[in-house]
Amino acid sequence: MNVCDKRRALLNEIARRCRAGRFDSARALLDQEVRRDGASAAIRVALAEQHLVAGDLASAFRVVAQGLVDQPANAHLIAFLASVQLAVGQPAEAQTLLESSPHPKTELWKGLLLASAHMGIGDHPRAAALLRAVVKEHGAIEPVLALLLRTLERMGDWQASLDVARQMLALGTSDREVLVVLSRAEMAAGRPGRVVTALKESAAIQDPTLAALRCAAFEMLGDVEASSRHWRWVCAGIPRCFASEQSARRFIDTVKQLP
C-alpha cells in the first residue's frame, strides 16, 4: 500500500468513526498519526476539524500552526487556518496570514478568503477590487459574485450591485439575496415596475422581505389597492409572519427606508 492509499484508508476510517459518533476515538487516531511522522496537511486539517467539533479551538490552531512551520506555503493549511480565524472573529489575523503567503491574491481560494478578511475589518473598497480581479481572471463564478454583491451593497453602490445581481441571475442562481439586492437597487433607481415584474407571487410569498419589497413597489407606483390586496394574500399564506395587515405595513415602511 503506497502513501496515498494509506492516507485515504486513514481518512476513511476517521470518517467511519465520526459517523458512528466516536469522535474521541477519531481524534485519538489522528493525533497518533500526527505524533508519529508529522502527517500530511490533509491529516492535520482532519485532526484540527475534530478539535473544533470538541470545542477545543486552541488545539485546532496549534495542530495547523505546527504544520505551517514545516510547510509554510501549504495552501490547505493556510486556507483552513484563515477560515477558522474568520469564523471566530479574527479578520485582521486572517488578513495577515493570507497576505504573507506566496500564493497569488487572485487564486480562487485565496481571493475569496482575503476579500472576506478585508470585509471583516471594514475595508470594503479593497475587497471589491480584489473580487473584481478574481472575476476577471476566473470568470463569473457564483460564490465570488455573491461575495462581491454583499460588498457592493455595504458600500451603497447600487448600480454596481444591480450589475452583479443581473450577472448572477443570468447564471441561474436561486439566491434570495440576489433578488433582495436587485429589488432594492431598482427601487433606489426609481423603477418599481421592474420589482413588481421580477418578484412573482410564487417567489415573494415565501419570503417576508421579498413580499414587503413587492408591496412597497406597488405603493411607489401609486397602486395602494394592489399593495393591500397582495398583503392580505401574503398574510393568508404565511400567517405566522405578520399578525395583521397593519404589522405588515409597518414592515413595508421599514423596507422602504432601507438605504
Residue 119 contacts residue 90 (beta carbons within 8 Å): no
Top mean pLDDT of 96-100, 146-150, 213-217 is at 96-100
- Spell out the residues 6+ positions from residue 14 whose beta carbon is closer than 8 angstroms to its own: 26, 29, 30, 46, 50
Instruction: Give the CA-trace dihedral at 8, 14, 20, 23, to 10 degrees.
Output: -170
Residue 41 identity (one-letter amino acid): A
Residue 43 contacts residue 34 (beta carbons within 8 Å): yes
Residues 72 and 3 in one domain: yes
* CATH at residue 162: 1.25.40
Which residue would you say has higher pLDDT here, 37 or 165?
165
Closest CA to 155 of 182, 179, 187, 119: 119
Query: Does residue 219 fall inside a structural domain?
Result: yes
- Print the domain residue range for 68: 1-84
pTM of the model: 0.68
Our count of domains for the chain comes to 3
Q: Is the pLDDT confidence value at 42 over 60?
A: yes
Closest CA to 184 of 225, 147, 148, 212: 212
